[in-house]
Amino acid sequence: MTNLFCRRPGSGSTLQPLPPTNSKGKQAALSFFFGGLLPLIAFTVIEENYGVIAGLIAGMIFGVGEIVFELVKHRRVSTMTWIGNGLLLILGGVSLISSEGIWFKLQPALMEGAFALALWGSCVMRKPLLVVMAEKQGQTFPDAVKSKLFGVTWRTGFFFAIHTGLATWAAIDWSTTNWALLKGVGFTVSFVVYLGLEVFYLRHSLANIRNE
């Protein structure tokens, strides 16, 4: 949520635009949206032409490749990449043993479900995840802004919960191609639209706070 409003040191009670997110924040965001996308594409293409086992092996190889690429490029691997690709490799292994690709396909649902629980859990603990993540980048917020971000965090949990249900349904009943489209296109587009609506509402609300 860049370029909204925060309170900067020495600015009194005036709300100032948020500074841009740092490189680590951008890397984490990219890992969340696009991490696991290449393994998914590889699995889909190979599975349709050569079968489930070949698709699983290809997907797992690309999963390892994403980790190695990020390590070489950034000299570190983001937590999101470790979790996403680690889960992908574990579920891929289970799928290989059972010769059933559904376990591999459940990775997006498990990731999205875990994120929904993390968002809700942070609200229950009165430490909204979006606020905590922003504060780790050196941003501070007045109570009015924290209250708004609490609502955003809670509602975003519902967004991920809904997508968890869709992703589970896709893994069980949809074709591999449609499952991949949901993960690669459907999730990204719907989240961008949802986030745009949240940002519009948040900007409007914070503008009213500034004018009070």
Of 136, 115, 27, 137, residue with least CA distance to 71: 27
- Among 58, 78, 100, where does a domain finish? 100
The pLDDT value recorded for residue 209 is 64
48 within some domain? yes
Print the domain residue range for 126.
Answer: 106-212
Same domain flag for 131 and 62: no
| 164 shares a domain with 81 | no
The answer on 115 and 87 residing in a single domain is no
Is the same domain home to 212 and 130?
Answer: yes
One-letter amino acid for residue 93 of the chain: G
Tens digits of residue pLDDT in 105-126:
999 999 999 999 999 999 999 9
Among 100, 133, 165, give the residue marking a domain's end: 100
Return the closest-CA partner of residue 103 out of 164, 63, 149, 56: 56
* Structure token digits, residue 91: 């579920």
Domain finish residue from 57, 82, 100: 100
Query: Which residue(s) pair with 6 in the sheet?
Result: 16
pTM for the model stands at 0.77
Q: Which percentage of the chain shows pLDDT scores above 70?
A: 81
Rounded-to-integer distance, Cα 42 and Cα 135, Å: 37
Same domain for 28 and 74, yes or no, is: yes
Q: Give me the residue label for tokens 């349709």.
A: 48
Domain count, the chain: 2
Report pLDDT digits (tens) over 122-167. 999 999 998 888 888 778 877 888 888 999 999 999 999 999 999 9
Same domain, 203 and 119: yes
